[in-house]
Chain A
Amino acid sequence: MIELDLKSEGVRGVNSRLHSLPKNTNQRHWLLKNPQGQHAIACGLDGPFTVEIAGHVGFYCGGMNKEAEIIIHGHAGVGVAENMMSGLVRVTGNASESAGATGNGGLLVIEGDASSRCGISMKGIDIVVGGSVGHMSAFMAQRGNLVVCGDAGEALGDSIYEARLYVKGRAENLGADCIEKEMRAEHREELEKLLERAKIKAKVKDFRRYGSARQLYNFNIDHADAY
């Protein structure tokens, strides 16, 4: 494991170093020390590396990630793994708002609670939250899975398209066009795999599934009140 000090090298210095790695590098395991809540740590990585961050990070950590495995040992600020393409981002603590926003792929695991707008406009990312999520989570979610082992805040899945939402606890209320759906065998199988990949212990049978009623795809004057 190669250690880099964010305090002495700066976020830009550390990120440049990680960006310059060729995909077939042998230097595959990195430890970033002293994050001190700085923003944009380990953003835009593109390759099969493991980057561990020893402490709490600021905004947009692991954004745009491709292939890399990023482990944040602590709390993550706003927009962790924003627009992730593939790979894995794991947060061992809680995360602030907009976790996994607009993510296209990969897996985001938050072992603690996520805050509001978790998975907002998600486009294929899978998000597994060990705790609860705040209000407006999966707002306008288009594709992917959001798994919540705790409760979901107000307006879950508001204006949702095709993403699947699995909630173990209570959903405060559902947003426009979001409804509870039947848990079929394929969903149970999918959820089992997600929990296994996320290394989060929970029983599939305890979850409920929510998704789109598909009534708001096209504007309909009769639904004006629902927008």
Chain B
Amino acid sequence: MCGIVGLYLKNKKLQPKLGQMFKPMIIEMTNRGPDSAGVAIYRNPVKKGQVKFSLAHDDASYDWKKIDLGLERSLKCDATVKKIGNHCLLVTNAKEKSVVDWLKAHHPEVRIVGSGQMIEIFKEVGLPEAVYEKFHLDDARGTHAIGHTRMATESAVTTAGSHPFATGADLCLVHNGSLSNHNRLRENLKREGLEFQTENDTEVAAAYMTWKLRQGRTLREALEDGIKDLDGFYTFCIGTHDGFAVVRDPIACKHAVLAETDDWVAMATEYRAISHLPGSDDARIWEPEPQTIYTWEGHA
């Protein structure tokens, strides 16, 4: 099962309501995925030269201040941390790679769940409503968000195995379906230097995308390559810095529906997740075709 949802606001006036509009979408998908939930929200871009990291730790009382101070001391940079649930947003002017290496060396228990200029990723085991509230997303303003409710089939129910999975700066992926060649692909990607936190199939798809993008492929090219190399069933929703993309496997049996009005574009596993949005009654609604890459970007 699993449920995926995405909302992209074309009308700037709606941006203060993003969190409020997105909430019923993800909650409606609860019975498709009651194991865990996650949201990637695009908001509050950092200044040029800064990077925003979404970090997670299993212990909700973890002291993030020591990351802040440790980073500033070791990398001679500015850093701020903001704790949200058992996650933390770290904004720093240090080089992204130096931060990643430093965290790995000094705080391997801290998981980097996303990074970029705008993206913030929050994910946790539990019911979508509880997860949403835990990260105070109700009053979130922003341009777009994608979310996932998980019913685990390929690997354990853990926070690390929850979606979205980051695939690069301001990029992330949610997946409904199951990949059948993820074990072999994981081994190939490990040889290319990619690292994995879980046994999860979607993490492999995310790493595959990361690898392709690092090689200089555009998002569209990386997705086209993915259609050839990823074997299995999938509907993917991919969050980008200024929009989102949707792609389905050649058989296209994992449900997906798209809806568009003058004010917004929404995707969901089932239409009922979209029905709460204002203007949905008059939206243009259709099922995305297989092996076809749909993208929305640049309105905000």
Contacts and interface: CB of A to CB of B under 8 A. Distances in A.
Interface of A: 36-39, 55-59, 74-75, 77-78, 93-94, 96-97, 112-113, 115-116, 134-135, 153
B90 interface: no
Interface in B248-263: 252-253, 255, 257
Interface string B259-297: 000000000001111111000110001110110000000
Contacts of B276: 36
Interface in B221-272: 252-253, 255, 257, 270-272
Given A37-B270, A59-B270, A96-B255, A135 B290 contact: yes
5 contacts: A37-B274, A56-B280, A74-B281, A93-B285, A116-B287
Contacts of A135: 252, 290
Contacts of A134: 252, 287, 289-290
| Size category, B interface | 10 to 19
B39 to A, nearest CB: 21
Contacts of A94: 285-287
Given A37-B272, A37-B273, A57-B271, 10 more contacts: A36-B275, A56-B280, A75-B257, A77-B257, A77-B270, A94-B287, A97-B253, A112-B286, A134-B287, A135-B252
B272 A58 contact: yes
Nearest to A134: B289
Contacts of B255: 78, 96-97
A58 B270 contact: yes
A77 B287 CA distance: 9
A56 B289 contact: no
B6 to A, nearest CB: 16
A97 B252 contact: yes
Contacts of A116: 252, 287, 290
B272 A38 contact: yes
A156 B53 CA distance: 49
Contact of A75 (B253, B271, B273, B289): B271
Contacts of B252: 97, 116, 134-135
A115 B272 contact: no
